[in-house]
Amino acid sequence: MSSPYLHINGIRKTFGEVVATDHVELEIAEGEFMTFLGPSGSGKSTTLYILAGFQDPTAGDIRLRGRSILQTPSHKRNIGMVFQRYTLFPHLSVGENVAFPLRVRRAPQAEIAAKVRRALSLVRLDGFEDRMPAHMSGGQQQRVALARALVYDPPVLLMDEPLSALDKKLREEIQHEIRRIHQQTGVTILYVTHDQEEALRLSDRIAVFNTGKIEQVGTGPELYASPATHFVADFIGNSAFLAGDLVAIGAGRASLRFADGTVLADIPMHGTGLAGGKAELMLRPERIELTAQPGLSGASLPVTVEDVTFLGNSSTVSARTGWGEVLSVRMNFGHPMMGQVRQGDALHVRWQPQHAHVFAKA
């Protein structure tokens, strides 16, 4: 088997007592768009900084095309990076900013001019060569930073939450640009974000980080359809979780009993658990619906309507289970029951059997 293009091999980094990353293991293919997704402090930036060479790992190795890069100093790694903060050189024009990596590499003048023009055109900033960074918007500055990071054809481009300082509309616009640039250049990208929508929109694959570890790696649809852990299920898609006890387990399926004695049988289960142990039932708000009649056994629960919130193209109904937990149910515009559900109604929440998941609690 040939070695992977980029191999993050068991990276561990500690700051005194704090474990920033704990045995991060990841293989990235050439040209892949890989996103690190996770909450604040989960070790995403630390992993990028180790790749960039700003920090040395406590243990582990980083291999690019089979060769360790840890002994190479940052400025010789040839890696491109776009930072969360604006990092254009304030005393240089846009053109000179983009030319900087080529100038330190002592490229010939004609080549510099051609490459700078091509890079600025790639980020749709043709003709901005003479602007000063202070006279550009945040979005434009990050596009210049992107051009500067790509102008020397780096083998890997790192992006650490490059859009987090921008407003939502601009962010979506630049996400499209990034996607187009990725397709156009074929550069391998490692992208950090804590915005699941951004991750799903951009990435080929997503690595979900939690407290310094990777919980699961997969494409967006994979993570959504079959989350490996409670954390992933919670972080991708705003799922509801109902706590109960495991009563029977077998062949990747389990039965769960809730506080009021209700039992749901034969639900797909993730992780290992023992009968009598604690577990949680995960339901996605868009996979469940409110009905007057109960559904198949193991795929519905009786509920009382608590509250109805109208959100334009959909409504959200808060439904209370028999033992007092509250579930959110999404009802799209045009649903036959929309406008008929009232507070206090006794209804059922129903789902397709394959759309519920049980996660055993450790």
Ligand X SMILES: Nc1ncnc2c1ncn2[C@@H]1O[C@H](COP(=O)(O)OP(=O)(O)OP(=O)(O)O)[C@@H](O)[C@H]1O
Q: What residues line the site for Mg ion (CB under 5 A)?
A: 45
Could you tell which of other proteins, Mg ion, ligand X, none binds residue 46, using a CB distance below 5 to 8 A set by kind? ligand X
Could you tell which of ligand X, other proteins, Mg ion, none binds residue 149, using a CB distance below 5 to 8 A set by kind? other proteins
Compute the radius of gyration of the chain from its Cα atoms: 25
Phi, then psi, of 9 in degrees rounded to 5? -110, 95
Q: How many residues bind other proteins (CB under 8 A)?
A: 28
Could you tell which of Mg ion, ligand X, other proteins, none binds residue 359, using a CB distance below 5 to 8 A set by kind? none
If one asks whether residue 191 binds other proteins (CB under 8 A), the answer comes out as no
Which positions from 142 through 171 interact with other proteins, judged by CB under 8 A?
145, 148-149, 152
- Distance separating alpha carbons of residues 123 and 129, to the nearest angstrom: 12
If one asks whether residue 119 binds other proteins (CB under 8 A), the answer comes out as no
Q: What share of the chain is helix, strand, coil (3-state, %, to 5)?
A: 25, 35, 40
Residue 254: CB minimum distance to ligand X, A: 33
Site string for other proteins, 169-188 (x = CB under 8 A): --------------------
Which positions from 200 through 259 interact with other proteins, judged by CB under 8 A?
none
Residue 160: CB minimum distance to ligand X, A: 7
Residue 46: CB minimum distance to ligand X, A: 3
Residue 104: CB minimum distance to other proteins, A: 5
Nearest residue to the partner ligand X, using Cβ: 45
CB atoms within 10 A of CB 109: 10
List C-alpha distances in Å: 254 to 7, 230, 242, 257: 37, 16, 14, 10
Strands (E), 133-262: 156-160, 188-193, 205-210, 213-218, 240-250, 253-257
Residue 235: CB minimum distance to other proteins, A: 27
154, exposed or middle or buried, with CB in 10 Å at 0-12, 13-18, 19+? middle
Nearest to 317 by CA among 292, 349, 351, 357: 349
Which positions from 266 through 325 interact with other proteins, judged by CB under 8 A?
none
Q: Which is nearer to other proteins, 104 or 311 (CB)?
A: 104
Q: Which is nearer to ligand X, 44 or 143 (CB)?
A: 44
C-alpha triplet 33, 37, 43: angle, nearest 5°: 110
Residue 18: CB minimum distance to Mg ion, A: 14
Q: Which amino acid is at 147?
A: A
Q: What is the DSSP letter of 17?
A: T
Nearest to 268 by CA among 250, 286, 284, 285: 250
If one asks whether residue 189 binds other proteins (CB under 8 A), the answer comes out as no
Residue 344: CB minimum distance to other proteins, A: 54
Residue 52: CB minimum distance to Mg ion, A: 12
Q: Which is nearer to ligand X, 44 or 205 (CB)?
A: 44
C-alpha 158: how far from its chain's center?
15
Which sign, positive or negative, has the C-alpha torsion 118, 119, 123, 126? negative
Could you tell which of other proteins, ligand X, Mg ion, none binds residue 258, using a CB distance below 5 to 8 A set by kind? none
- Distance separating alpha carbons of residues 341 and 317, to the nearest angstrom: 8
Q: Which is nearer to Mg ion, 45 or 188 (CB)?
A: 45
If one asks whether residue 85 binds other proteins (CB under 8 A), the answer comes out as yes
- Distance separating alpha carbons of residues 150 and 252, to the nearest angstrom: 47
Q: Which is nearer to other proteins, 52 or 223 (CB)?
A: 52
Binding stretches for ligand X (CB under 6 A): 15, 18, 20, 38, 40-46, 194
Interacting residues with other proteins (CB under 8 A): 52, 54, 73-81, 83, 85-92, 100-101, 104-105, 145, 148-149, 152
